[in-house]
Amino acid sequence: MPHQIFFSWQLDTPTATGRNLIGRALDAAISSVAEDADVDPADRELEVDRDSAGVPGSPPIVETIFSKIDRAVGFVSDMTYVAQRLDGRRMPNPNVLLEHGWALRALSWRGVISVMNTAYGHPDVHPLPFDLAHFRRPIFFDCPEDADVETRRAARQTLTTQFTNALRAVLDDEVLRQARIPARPAEPHPHDIALLERVRRQLPEAFQLFLRQHSFGEPLRRRILDPLYELTDDWHGASFEFHDSVLQAPFTNIQRLASELAALSLERLYVMDNNTELLSPKTDVDRARGTQPSTVDTVVAMNSKATELSTAIDVFERIARDRIRAKLGGSSSPRLSA
């Protein structure tokens, strides 16, 4: 299940330079985080949540919003000035301020990100409310109501970069990381014990060794990729999902990488004419004119993906040993021959 980033927005300013611009930049930042190999696989799946979206019926709005913020891993608030007090001081939207305060209580300052369109006032000239002045300043952008398309695009791109960095910092924060990891169950779920044993049989050490050591520029036996294809084609549905979400996250990453490597192999590996049990990335053109650049690129891509998959299996195994401390049946397998 994706982690939620709660977005507290306001409609006092035009959406083209406010809610929509910020929302699009936040969506783009989340997509960037999802593709970042340096981010823990368990944290890459993020989505934006807001107000009472996705809640059926007629829920109490305030309670629903507070509950969502409590469950979120991060919070983004639009602190753009939208009003003026009697003494001339400017202030953000009051609902945003209320939700921002709740987020500080629920997530601490570590999980709170704020943003401000300084076209409506800058804290250097119009200080933030006293209780907010001693926190890190918002992410600033300057986009007036009459900004043209290019100005809005530039502001959105800059915001995307800043949001990406801010989200990575939230996800990397060790205090927040420990807070969102559920405690290890006192007794592992029986389904998880059985499924872990199946995973170990499906991806034995010999297969992992092949992924780490084999160069896809060399011929390989067709059957050696069977575990990959079986995992991709057959392992679907609740029977192949771990009850423990902490264990399911790295397993989902394994399935994704296995699917990508399987797709590459089906597209770019060919049965050899002189031995139908062997596969090779070399085409007739390669054999007639020498290895082509496109074939070299294919080999590099497959080797890289195989290494990623092997690493993902190791990550999964380390987490599994911590989450399921039960003696399982042997998963040894005869050494595979490429």
- Assigned token pair, 25: 């930049």
Percent of the chain with pLDDT over 90: 69
Instruction: Write out pLDDT tens, residues 124-159.
Output: 999 888 888 888 899 999 999 999 999 999 999 999
Listing from the earlier edge strand, what are the strands of the sheet with 275-280?
Answer: 220-221, 275-280, 270-272
Instruction: Write out pLDDT tens, residues 214-258.
Output: 999 999 999 999 999 999 999 999 999 999 888 998 999 999 999
| pLDDT at 2 (0 to 100) | 79
**Local confidence band at 213 (pLDDT 50, 70, 90 cut-offs):** very high
Contact 250, 242 (CB under 8 A): no
- Assigned token pair, 8: 């507290």
Contact 242, 195 (CB under 8 A): yes
Say whether pLDDT at 121 is over 80. Answer: yes
Say whether pLDDT at 332 is over 50. Answer: no
- Grouping H, G, I as helix, E, B as strand and the rest as coil, residue 146 is coil
- What mean pLDDT do residues 299-306 have? 95
Q: Which amino acid is at 76?
A: V
DSSP state of 111: G
- Grouping H, G, I as helix, E, B as strand and the rest as coil, residue 91 is strand
| pLDDT at 36 (0 to 100) | 83
Instruction: Write out pLDDT tens, residues 85-100.
Output: 888 889 999 999 999 9
Contact 310, 212 (CB under 8 A): yes
| pLDDT at 183 (0 to 100) | 62
Contact 180, 170 (CB under 8 A): no
| pLDDT at 57 (0 to 100) | 80
Say whether pLDDT at 330 is over 60. Answer: no
The angle at the Cα of 263, spanning 262 to 267, to the nearest 5 degrees, equals: 115
pTM greater than 0.85 (yes/no): no
Say whether pLDDT at 334 is over 60. Answer: no
| pLDDT at 327 (0 to 100) | 47
9-13's contacts with Cβ under 8 Å and 24+ in sequence apart are 9/50, 9/78, 9/96, 10/78, 10/80, 10/82, 10/92, 10/93, 10/95, 10/96, 12/80, 12/82, 12/83, 12/93, 13/80, 13/82, 13/117, 13/120, 13/145
Residue with tokens 């039960």: 326
Cβ atoms within 10 A of the Cβ of 238, count?
7
| pLDDT at 335 (0 to 100) | 46
Distance of alpha carbon 147 from alpha carbon 288, whole angstroms: 59
274 versus 258: the higher-pLDDT residue is 258
Burial of 274 (0-12, 13-18, 19+ CB in 10 A): exposed
The angle at the Cα of 163, spanning 157 to 168, to the nearest 5 degrees, equals: 135
Of 231, 240, 241, give the one whose Cα is nearest residue 309: 231
Which residues, at least 6 apart from 98, have a Cβ–Cβ distance to it below 8 Å? none
Which residues, at least 6 apart from 8, have a Cβ–Cβ distance to it below 8 Å? 50, 75, 76, 77, 78, 95, 96, 99, 100, 103
Average pLDDT over the chain, rounded to an integer: 89
| pLDDT at 41 (0 to 100) | 72
